[in-house]
Amino acid sequence: MTAPLVVGSRAELDATLPGGRLLVPTMGALHEGHASLLRLARAHGDGPLVASVFVNPMQFAPGEDLERYPRTFEADLALCAREGVDVVFAPDVEEVYPGGDPQVTVDPGPLGAELEGASRPTHFRGVLTVVAKLLGLVRPEVAVFGEKDYQQLTLVRRMVDDLCLGVRVAGAPTVRDPDGLALSSRNRYLSPREREQALALSRALDAARRTGAVEAAEKVLADADGVAVDYLALRGPDLGPAPVAGPARLLVAARVGTTRLIDNVALDLGAGSEGP
Ligand code: PAF
């Protein structure tokens, strides 16, 4: 197991890396979900595998968990070493935002104001701006994002297409604990009792997946203890309006204790009804 090289600036990246780079952007606090992203990135080529670790202040609103967001750099390095990461790019805020808040940012468009964006109106502007910056800094051929943050993945794809950013975006399936809870860096905020309550999210989605009926998910959530649902939303696979048949995506967000959790699943709505 070789320890990855740790660099902190674009100049160092350019001095150390050939082309064909593969990027997995993260905010650290790495877990097995990130490990799966790293493996998927590696499957896309032999170029240098870069994991970025940067807790992006711009995607947190005042009062959100920027200060308490878990920072576990030594453990992150160990996971990166285990997964064969060549370079951990861990810039400081000044490297990413020289001179403070950027004057030019990425507008996430209408989808950025829906679902997560309805509760977190500045979130996706912050996400897309930092992703655009990371793509500009690392200049990868392929960048990998998790389906767990499905709206983020969808918006990143749209940004890359709309702004012709010339990188391939790969989505990696959500990794779950054996009882179904989607892995998330924020799961460590949950008390044992809240973790048990949080299982309602994956159980609800699974009920809908098995039956093809959103009502099955609604029932699980309505019966759940300690789960304040923000939204349960059926959409098309690209997060357009809900289809009446065929592939769809069901997304859920809820607060358990003080922790906001999100999850989603692919649904097949079948052939739909033929109407009267
Ligand atoms: O998914 C995340 O960890 C972050 O939103 C990302 C993509 C690294 C941007 O800060």
Is the pLDDT reported for residue 273 higher than 80? no
- How far does Cα 164 stand from its chain's mean position? 21
What CATH number was assigned to the domain covering residues 185-269? 3.30.1300.10
Ligand 1 centroid to residue 233 C-alpha, Å: 22
Q: E strands of 64-152, at which residues?
A: 87-89, 142-146
Q: Which atom of ligand 1 is nearest to the CA of 134?
A: 9
Mean pLDDT within 11-33:
91
Q: Residue 97 has what pLDDT? A: 97
Q: Which helix (H) or strand (E) holds 189?
A: none
Contact 140, 21 (CB under 8 A): yes
Contact 82, 1 (CB under 8 A): yes
Q: Structure tokens of 18? A: 């050939």
pLDDT-derived band at 11 (thresholds 50, 70, 90) equals: confident
| End-to-end Cα, the chain, rounded Å | 64
Q: Which helix (H) or strand (E) holds 58?
A: none
Dist CA 90 CA 51 (whole Å):
8
Dist CA 153 CA 56 (whole Å):
17
Report CA dihedral (94, 99, 103, 105) to the nearest 10 degrees. -10
Q: Is the CB of 197 under 6 A from ligand 1?
A: no
pLDDT digits (tens, 9 = 90+) for 144-191: 999 999 999 999 999 999 999 999 999 999 999 999 999 999 999 999
Dist CA 84 CA 55 (whole Å):
22
Half-sphere exposure of 202 (CA within 13 A, CB side): 17
Q: Is the CB of 131 under 6 A from ligand 1?
A: yes
Nearest CA to ligand 1 atom 9: 127
Q: Residue 76 has what pLDDT? A: 98
Which of 36, 128, 129, 152 has the most ligand 1 atoms within 8 A of CB, as the residue to mutate?
152
Which of 127, 148, 264 has the most ligand 1 atoms within 8 A of CB, as the residue to mutate?
127
Q: Is the CB of 130 under 6 A from ligand 1?
A: yes
Contact 130, 58 (CB under 8 A): yes
Ligand 1 centroid to residue 211 C-alpha, Å: 32
Q: Is there a catalytic annotation at residue 34?
A: yes
pTM, full prediction: 0.94
Q: Residue 39 has what pLDDT? A: 98
Ligand 1 centroid to residue 135 C-alpha, Å: 12
Provide the 8-state DSSP code for 112.
Answer: G
Q: Is the CB of 26 under 6 A from ligand 1?
A: yes
Nearest CA to ligand 1 atom 1: 26
Q: Is the CB of 56 under 6 A from ligand 1?
A: yes
Contact 61, 120 (CB under 8 A): yes
* Residue for token pair 């709309």: 162
What is the number of other CB atoms lying within 10 angstroms of the CB of residue 167? 17
pLDDT digits (tens, 9 = 90+) for 197-208: 999 999 999 999
CA distances from 182 to 147, 214, 264 (A): 10, 19, 9
Is the pLDDT reported for residue 19 higher than 60? yes
CATH class of 5-172: alpha beta
- Evaluated on CA atoms 50, 141, 117, 252, the torsion sign reads negative
Ligand 1 centroid to residue 215 C-alpha, Å: 31
Q: Residue 14 has what pLDDT? A: 78
Contact 267, 233 (CB under 8 A): no
Nearest CA to ligand 1 atom 5: 127
Q: Is the CB of 33 under 6 A from ligand 1?
A: no
pLDDT digits (tens, 9 = 90+) for 108-146: 999 999 999 999 999 999 999 999 999 999 999 999 999
Nearest CA to ligand 1 atom 6: 26
Q: Classify strands 22-26 and 168-172 as parallel, antiparallel or unpaired.
A: unpaired
Nearest CA to ligand 1 atom 2: 26
What is the number of other CB atoms lying within 10 angstroms of the CB of residue 170? 18
Domain residue spans of the chain: 5-172, 185-269
pLDDT digits (tens, 9 = 90+) for 228-243: 999 999 999 999 999 9
pLDDT digits (tens, 9 = 90+) for 51-90: 999 999 999 999 999 999 999 999 999 999 999 999 999 9
